[in-house]
Amino acid sequence: MKKALESITVKLLGKQYTIRCPQEEAEMLQQCAVQLDKQMQAVQQTNKIAGNEQIAIVAALNVVGESLQQQQLHKQQRIRTKQRIHALKRRITDCLSPQAQMPLETPDEVLD
């Protein structure tokens, strides 16, 4: 079954664009457009680039760069978490091994 498409209007650097997207994605697309517009305005002000196409390219590269950095950080966190879990598993296993267990019964001399 085809998804119902909706036409939405987004504004980037003062220019309006009409985009069709699935209805359930319309709100997210609006939010993305707001963020992209902010990025483009920042690029325009900081770099003094005149053409909207160049501004859009630099803004897109900035957004992708930030996304890749976040992905790398997330990957490093996953690796550290897995290493910590493995270390904890080894410690638990060592503590539960028969050699490491404390005797549960009292010594014979205490019972006499």
Instruction: Give burial (CB, 10 Å; 0-12/13-18/19+) of 18.
Output: exposed
Query: What's phi and psi for 102, nearest 5 deg?
Result: -75, 145
**Per-residue pLDDT band at 47 (split at 50, 70, 90):** confident
**Per-residue pLDDT band at 39 (split at 50, 70, 90):** very high
Q: Does the pLDDT of residue 25 top 50, yes or no?
A: yes
Q: What is the pLDDT of residues 52-93, one digit of tens each?
A: 899 999 999 999 999 999 999 999 999 999 999 999 999 998
97 to 13, 82, 90, 107: CA distances (angstroms): 66, 22, 10, 20
What the block records as the tokens of 107 is 């010594």
